[in-house]
Amino acid sequence: GYILKNGDGPEEVRACLRDGIIPLDRLMIETDAPYMGFNSARESYFKMEETTNEEFMALKSKKRKNLIKSIYPNVPSALPKVLEQTLSLLNEGRRERDENEISMEEGAAAIFANSVKFFDIKTK
């Protein structure tokens, strides 16, 4: 595995993805990735909460707005946004190196396979 954080903050992670330092066959993603900069994950999560969560809607409007601004929902439904941003950075570097881009399907399949292998998940 790779351990990051030389003090460069979020840009270190972005640079590792752009520069191809982390090979695709070793890459995994998680929902706790606010450094990736995908603001729409937060908004889409809370839009869903507004339509399905009575407790959330029972909060006063100001409280709901402050909640939306103050936290990032680390929920499984955010994974497609994490994948999208991750692949965007990977592909930015791949274009610069004149390499083929990775599609969402290819990226998702590779990351799923990595997770299955890492966690020793039995798939059959």
Q: What is the pLDDT of residues 10-31, one digit of tens each?
A: 778 888 899 998 889 999 988 7
Q: What is the pLDDT of residues 33-55, one digit of tens each?
A: 555 555 555 566 666 666 667 77
Token pair recorded at residue 47: 């839009």
Write down the residue that tokens 């890492």 correspond to.
118
Q: What is the pLDDT of residues 54-112, one digit of tens each?
A: 777 787 888 777 766 665 566 677 788 889 889 999 999 999 999 999 999 999 999 99
Angle, alpha carbons 38-30-16 (nearest 5°): 75
pLDDT for 49:
65
pTM of the full structure: 0.69
Rounded to whole angstroms, the Cα distance separating 27 from 66 reads 34
